[in-house]
Structure 1
Amino acid sequence: MKGLMMNTQLMISSILRHADKNFPHREIVSVTADNPRHRYTYADFAKRSRKLANALASMDVQFGDRIGTLAWNDYRHLELYYGVSGSGLVCHMINPKLFPEQINYIINHAEDKILFVDVLVMPLVEALHSHLKTVEKIVVLTDKQHMPDSKLKNLICYEELLDQFDDNYQWPEFDENTAAGMCYTSGTTGNPKGVVYSHRSTVLHAYAGSLPDITNASCNSVTMPIVPMFHVNAWGIPYAGIMVGSKLVMPGPKMADGETLHSLIETEGVTNSSGVPTIWLALLDYLDKTGNKIPTLQCVTAGGAACPRNIIKRFKLDYQTDVKQGWGMTEMSPLGTVFVLSPGMENLTDDEEIDLRLKQGKSVFGVEMKIVDEQNNELPWDGVAFGALKVKGPWIATGYYGMSQTPGDKDCPVDSDGWMNTGDVATIDPLGYLQITDRTKDVIKSGGEWISSIDIENAAINHPQIAEAAAIGRYHPKWTERPLLIVVPAENTNLSSAEIIEYLQQKMHKWAVPDDVVFIDELPHTATGKLNKLALREKYEDYQFPQ
């Protein structure tokens, strides 16, 4: 017996239609290269998205063609999210911070037909243009007045393009499993791999992302996505926020500028925001220097890298702002877990609560997870056992674009048992709280024991004279590997290796304390801001511990 319910397809365009009808006067505020504070309504946004769909239909594109974007968090990029996907094309968000060789590979591998490009990214596009085999048109995301001088011919001005078309457009209906968006991973080994999101997975992810324990987004909230729209769909906020009618505040190219972020929070009344830890450090440092406050900001979500304890502490004690850690991956759309206090934790001390918030949180409904040992045996959720983290669910990738879709194959992220191996090592406690202890490739295996490089880094970064730290395993003649700590000292400090090791001996298990510390001016990072451990292992490939 089947249920007697309508089988309505889950479409990205349905989010826009709902928002247009129910929240027409809600605002979207943007910082762009040509306007320091652009402001318009959901009704304006929906109208321009329909005009964009008409424009695309005139540009000799076919259902399923990939449309590339090289752009920041602003209203024009948001229009592409909906106008491209809603019309049956695939919105391919490309990270302009990647190496040019990687961007060239990504555009050609995806076979992008049209590129929509921010003015600030034009020098990169000019340098790559002759190598882009499938790109037929380039549209610059600006108005006629701000079109750049360029050696490229036949550039199209976005605003002039939209002005040619009316907003009379009916969003088409098609299978909800149709591709809607693409993001490529930015791994440090091999070529980037394309993750393809469907309309169904995107809408389900938006539902989950707007739950009270996740972002608590609603028509009464003011949301500022600082995580880039080219990085896993800005963690789904452009869909979840529009779905519930949240006012959106988009920082554009100023997402790393503490002064701009504070100004947007203060003048627009931002209540919640999401970004990587380095962004929050920039904001906190600006607040500390100026004495400014952020009274409306109730909660920030941190992800992309382990959030240092100091960030959580400063937000909570100095600004009464909660920090929720989250964890996920490009292959997971990216939502996997988010931290929230459980009932019965109301009487924790500040230090106890902050310590708990260092965990990545509980899985969101729609994501199943387990940890396994090296023989693939499932391990208990006791907060002690740690192993390889596996996940599955309706917004988790089954394969990569143009690569094997067969579970168990070398190029497929899904194992033969139907679970995706995340590449992370983790523990899960009896209450379901996940804590990432390392990446599988970064864990330090010393004398038969596993040592978490993340635990070492978190302990080190709490030293007031350490600006940044990274731990890697290096060869040891007796123990196979031992931890080496690489430190960027804070300005105007004079630390020694012995001082740091003595400090860490008071903070962690003796076996995990690094055998040596080396100092460096700057640590290498990937394009998404994560520590580039591969580059560090290559740099210190011949390192020998002192006898």
Structure 2
Amino acid sequence: MTDVDGLMQPRPLTIAHILERAEKLYAHKHVTTAGGERLTYAEVADHTRRLATALDALGVPVGARVATFAANTRRHLELYLAVPVTKRVLHSVNIRLSPEHLEYIVEHAEDDVVFVDRALLPRIWPSADRLPKVRHWVVLPDDSGTEIPEDPRVLDYDELVAGAAPFTGSFEDAFTLADENLASGLCYTSGTTGPPKGVVYSHRSTVLHCLGTLAAGFIGLCESDVVMPIVPMFHANAWGLPYGAMMTGASLVLPGPSADPTHLLRLMESERVTVAGAVPTVWTSLVPRLRDHDLGATRFLLGGGSAIAPALSETYRSAVGVPITHSWGMTEISPVGTIGGTRTQHQDGGAEQQVAVRAAQGQPLPLVNVRIVDVETGRELPRDGRAIGEVQVAGPWVAGGYFRVDGGTSFTGDGWLRTGDLATIDAEGYLRLVDRIKDLIKSGGEWISSVELETAIFSHPDVVEVAVIARPDPRWVERPAAYVVLRDGSAATAEDLLRHITPMVAKWWLPDEVVFMSALPKTGTGKLSKTALRDATRIA
């Protein structure tokens, strides 16, 4: 019997389709930026078409990297669109990088143009003369009043866009089937264990990830939503929320540079936000003011970047009526790999069971495959909820290599991504993180999970932040130490915290030391930085 080929049209998957779909079907929908600016998708599309011809006028080659150094704003959204639909590569740069890492990735990416918020000029302009491959620096206006350098390389974004005629054709029609694999975006990892590594997204991978955010039963973005990505647009495409919102016709709310809790809550309340995504530190910062605002429109709150403590999720369920839903992923996964929450089989379970289910990182999105393997042998482990192994991932929006560097041991022989996370997977496919391999504490030959200890400590009502790391011990090799931030006015002591967690963990897991701090160090994306904490405590 001979094989029969399918007879479907060979059409490419491109970000151009996302733009033109929003432009045609949802022209009336709005993009609201903090400060009161409100534009329709039709107006955003017009600016995008002008920006496309402006990039041509600047002589930016096809395939060139175009860097953005910006907050979550409408202008940044226009760059999210104009750069890839003209077959250039959007390189969103983390605004919190050290000067050393910042200069490294701009040079490594060979960025041709840098678009930068006016307020952020002091962070990047001092490096300009050490980045000779950058031909143009385009300033995105804001009300910061920051001095703009008098330099022929410096241009004004609004003047550039206003002075360009809009491209009048179809961006989508310019793509061939092969073009769907062109690079559309570039995002560098945090570089906590070496130089940052570049992850290159394609048009195809971005569109498929975008569809994943629309999948019912997971995030399920839809036309009636009002979506607010609090997670920065400089980090892994803001978890795909801007593209997903435009694809489905949801309105967008962009909070700008401020992460002030009152600012974020007022914006969520006034714009009737239904879906928002942020890292745990941001969700924690909003808790004291939650009940001062009407968040009745909210239907889905997404948390990621690090584990969401059940106590934090339940606080939101009590105050807002919606728990924080776990997600798990990384820059290399575009970034969303799994989404948590309960399913129909949990509806008849008790409250305690549902809390336990919500504490897991969840099930893989459609098209994503996840497995756990023995760290030593590489043998795949059973999905029994007990076996602990390294998480490995495969799928059409999972990286298969790094930009201009060897992937080393990051990928398996059969092409799966090695994540460095340890987890269990149960019979229903729920992933439950145990720890990062590098964060496990080996005490007296036995393993202690820093994540489980942190979850237990965070359940104390006075704890705002906590990180557990290993400290050297002459007898046990390593012992856990807890670093804790308490709520303002709390009189809780180390003994109080240890007494609180004693029923929750094995006695030999109890931290030998509890250190109170005013704040814990963060990475450039707002996650707790155990690397910085280890360095600080080592120096101390």
Q: TM-score, normalised by structure 1?
A: 0.93
Task: Check conservation: 2:50, 2:165, Cα contact below 8 A.
Answer: yes
Structure 1 portions without partners, runs of 5+: none
Query: Per the alignment, in what secondary structure is the counterpart of residue 441 of structure 1?
Result: helix
Query: Per the alignment, in what secondary structure is the counterpart of residue 294 of structure 1?
Result: coil
* Cα deviation, residue 200, structure 1: 0.5
| Amino acid of the structure 2 residue aligned with 1:478 | R
Structure 2 CA distance for aligned equivalents of residues 262 and 379 of structure 1: 43
Structure 1 CA distance for aligned equivalents of residues 522 and 263 of structure 2: 24
Q: Kindly report the root-mean-square deviation, in angstroms, between the aligned alpha carbons of the 2 structures.
A: 1.8
Structure 2 CA distance for aligned equivalents of residues 356 and 488 of structure 1: 27
Match of 2:380 in 1: 378
Structure 2 CA distance for aligned equivalents of residues 357 and 364 of structure 1: 16
2:283 aligns with one of 280, 301, 314: 280
Match of 1:215 in 2: 219
Match of 1:337 in 2: 338
Structure 2 CA distance for aligned equivalents of residues 240 and 41 of structure 1: 16
Match of 1:7 in 2: 10
Match of 2:349 in 1: 348
Task: Check conservation: 2:119, 2:145, Cα contact below 8 A.
Answer: no
Residues 391-432 of structure 1: CA distance to partner in whole angstroms, max 9, x if unpaired?
111111111111126xxx34xx21223211001011111211
Residues 310-341 of structure 1: CA distance to partner in whole angstroms, max 9, x if unpaired?
22111111221232110000000001000131
What is the total number of aligned residue pairs between the two structures? 530
Structure 2 CA distance for aligned equivalents of residues 268 and 537 of structure 1: 41
* Cα deviation, residue 250, structure 1: 0.8
Stretch deviating more after TM superposition (298-307 or 476-485):
476-485
Confirm or deny that 1:321 pairs with 2:322: yes
Alignment of 1:64-463 (within 5 A): 64-142=63-141, 148-154=146-152, 155-170=154-169, 171=171, 172-174=174-176, 175-254=179-258, 256-288=259-291, 291-373=292-374, 374-404=376-406, 409-410=408-409, 413-463=410-460
Match of 1:21 in 2: 24
Task: Check conservation: 1:298, 1:322, Cα contact below 8 A.
Answer: no
Structure 1 CA distance for aligned equivalents of residues 175 and 37 of structure 2: 32
* Cα deviation, residue 464, structure 1: 2.2
Q: TM-score, normalised by structure 2?
A: 0.94
- CA separation of 1:218 and 1:489: change in aligned 2, threshold 3 A: closer
| Amino acid of the structure 1 residue aligned with 2:7 | L
Structure 2 CA distance for aligned equivalents of residues 477 and 148 of structure 1: 53
Structure 1 CA distance for aligned equivalents of residues 430 and 221 of structure 2: 22
Stretch deviating more after TM superposition (415-424 or 483-492):
483-492
Structure 2 CA distance for aligned equivalents of residues 497 and 276 of structure 1: 27
* Cα deviation, residue 512, structure 1: 2.3
Query: Per the alignment, in what secondary structure is the counterpart of residue 121 of structure 1?
Result: helix
| Amino acid of the structure 1 residue aligned with 2:27 | P
Confirm or deny that 1:524 pairs with 2:527: no
* Cα deviation, residue 148, structure 1: 4.6
- CA separation of 1:384 and 1:124: change in aligned 2, threshold 3 A: same
Structure 2 CA distance for aligned equivalents of residues 147 and 166 of structure 1: 29
* Cα deviation, residue 79, structure 1: 0.6
Q: Identity of counterpart residues, as a percentage? A: 41
* Cα deviation, residue 63, structure 1: 1.1
Match of 2:461 in 1: 464
- CA separation of 1:447 and 1:188: change in aligned 2, threshold 3 A: same
Query: Per the alignment, in what secondary structure is the counterpart of residue 253 of structure 1?
Result: coil
* Cα deviation, residue 382, structure 1: 1.1
* Cα deviation, residue 240, structure 1: 1.0
| Amino acid of the structure 2 residue aligned with 1:296 | A
- CA separation of 1:265 and 1:540: change in aligned 2, threshold 3 A: closer
| Amino acid of the structure 1 residue aligned with 2:323 | D
Task: Check conservation: 2:239, 2:336, Cα contact below 8 A.
Answer: yes
* Cα deviation, residue 542, structure 1: 8.5
* Cα deviation, residue 449, structure 1: 2.4
Query: Per the alignment, in what secondary structure is the counterpart of residue 220 of structure 1?
Result: coil
Structure 2 CA distance for aligned equivalents of residues 414 and 234 of structure 1: 25
- CA separation of 1:86 and 1:276: change in aligned 2, threshold 3 A: same
Task: Check conservation: 1:501, 1:516, Cα contact below 8 A.
Answer: no
Match of 1:536 in 2: 533
| Amino acid of the structure 2 residue aligned with 1:344 | Q
Structure 1 CA distance for aligned equivalents of residues 223 and 287 of structure 2: 27
Structure 1 CA distance for aligned equivalents of residues 501 and 261 of structure 2: 31
